[in-house]
Amino acid sequence: MQEQKIALVTGASKGIGAAIARELAGDGFRLWLNYRSDHRAATLLAEEIRGSGGDCTLLPFDVADVAAVATALEPLLEHQVPLVLVNNAGFARDGILALMSQGDWEDVLAVHLNGFFNVTRLVVARMLKKRRGRIINIVSTSGETGMAGQVNYSAAKAGLIGATRSLAAEVGRRNILVNAVSPGFIATEMTADLPQEQILPMIPLGRIGEPEEVSGLVSFLCSERASYITGQVFAVNGGAHI
């Protein structure tokens, strides 16, 4: 009997993460679904996945908390190794740098960069032994172009882009592929309150993207069709950054 593939998706209770979880479940992956605090949304998503014939294990922990990450993942990793890791956990806390608090700077970098390190370090060590794996980091147009009022968020996402390329160079010989997907304005809680009249003129396609337009690309990068692609950044932004 063929071993079922596992995908670990962080920050997956809603938005882009939830869309990725649904997509990969539809592709036949067993889901390890991480979230920090929205237990209700995570539970509803897990029930939806199971109701469609999938398998979903909920893993509530803060990716920025190195001890919590180890406590949640190490017992599972002793017996099973995900084929796919999607580092999606993240949030924005916007404000101009001159008025930004130390906490707003550190918290955003902690989730995006420390969270990437804490989770990926544990998983990739096991992937190296298996000599296979796919790591997808969800970054942002803000990390490619810079965005006023998002110095912390832009710095974090730009750091993830650099980490993606460096890790791809480190682990490629062990058949582990590492790529980044860079969404622009996508219809999630993060963009719900943004002024459409200011945003739409910035997007050549003239609309906000849907989470499924991001998850479809992630699905492709996790498939055998993407077996010669690593170290790349793929934009899903409607042409907002070309």
What amino acid positions are annotated as catalytic residues?
A: 153
Show the CA angle centred on residue 55, arms to residues 90 and 121, nearest 5°.
40
Q: Output the DSSP codes for 216-238.
A: HHHHHHTSGGGTT--S-EEEEST
- Which CA distances in Å does 142 have to 17, 43, 138, 139? 18, 31, 12, 8
The type of residue at 34 is N
Query: Reduced to 3 states, what is the DSSP secondary structure of residue 168?
Result: helix
3-state helix, strand, coil in the chain (%, to 5): 50, 15, 35
Q: Output the DSSP codes for 55-112.
A: -EEEEE--TT-HHHHHHHHHHHHTT---SEEEE---------GGG--HHHHHHHHIII
Is the Cβ–Cβ distance between 6 and 29 less than 8 Å? yes
- Which CA distances in Å does 26 have to 13, 53, 77, 98, 211? 16, 9, 23, 46, 15
